[in-house]
């Protein structure tokens, strides 16, 4: 029985990457610097990122994209997208509700929501975070595992198992937008407007890859 179990473990272990069967992805060119009412803020004006933190994030993924955008009203949105070809072990997506506390933030609210678009509804998770009582940062994010949006570890594991039974290791993508706003609901509304405007200018193939719709 033990030998059979060991054989099944080896036999059922995924050996092929799903990413090898999908079109390649290039985040920097996929996401435009200007769309709708939004345009990228130049690096000199954008938020300063801790270089140690940035290096740690980049080491965990195959591609990362971090930009700050502003609209005609001067509202700023911080966009972060991370993509990894493999969702094994340490290469799995790092969810904001775990990463933000590691940066000194307190997660004051964590709830599931939805982003309605003309192309379909994207399940999202919305966090209210605060650091040192002087920085309130609402966050909206979703994660793609393979071709499906997942919002929790159980859902993610079920998707990975489903692909694993086909001999495939899934890829993963995390899409996160945040803003500094003492009125979290306003922040969530602005983030929804930003994400909807971005999805509207993507090709159907890229929109499916980014948001599953």
pLDDT of residue 154: 84
- Residue 29 inside a domain? The answer is yes
What end-to-end distance do the CA atoms of the chain give, in Å?
Answer: 44
- Residue 2 inside a domain? The answer is no
- Residue 4 inside a domain? The answer is no
Mean pLDDT split into 10-residue runs, the chain, 213 residues? 46 70 88 98 59 53 93 97 73 78 92 96 97 93 92 84 86 94 97 98 96 95
pLDDT of residue 139: 97
- pTM for the whole structure: 0.84
pLDDT of residue 20: 72
- Residue 3 inside a domain? The answer is no
List the Cα angle 201/207/212 in 5-degree steps: 150
pLDDT of residue 93: 72
Domain count, the chain: 1
113 touches 99 (CB < 8 A): no
- Owning domain of residue 206: 15-211
- Residue 173 inside a domain? The answer is yes
DSSP state of 203: -
80 touches 66 (CB < 8 A): yes
List the Cα angle 52/44/183 in 5-degree steps: 80
């Amino acid at each position: 029985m033990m030998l059979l179990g060991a054989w099944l473990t080896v036999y059922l272990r995924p050996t092929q990457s799903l990413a090898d069967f999908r079109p390649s992805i290039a985040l920097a060119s996929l996401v435009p610097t200007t769309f709708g009412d939004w345009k990228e803020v130049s690096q000199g004006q954008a938020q300063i990122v801790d270089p140690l933190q940035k290096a740690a994030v980049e080491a965990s993924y195959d591609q990362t994209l971090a930009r700050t955008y502003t609209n005609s009203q001067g509202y700023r949105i911080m966009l972060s997208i991370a993509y990894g070809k493999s969702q094994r072990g340490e290469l799995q997506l790092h969810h904001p509700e775990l990463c933000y506390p590691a940066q000194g933030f307190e997660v004051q609210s964590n709830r599931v929501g939805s982003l309605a678009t003309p192309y379909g509804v994207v399940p999202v998770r919305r966090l209210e975070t605060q650091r040192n009582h002087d920085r309130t940062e609402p966050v909206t994010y979703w994660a793609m595992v393979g071709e499906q949006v997942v919002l929790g570890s159980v859902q993610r594991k079920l998707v990975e198992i489903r692909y694993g039974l086909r001999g495939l290791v899934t890829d993963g993508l995390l899409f996160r937008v945040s803003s500094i706003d003492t009125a979290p609901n306003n922040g969530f509304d602005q983030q929804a407007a930003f994400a909807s405007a971005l999805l509207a200018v993507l090709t159907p193939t890229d929109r499916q890859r980014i948001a599953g719709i």
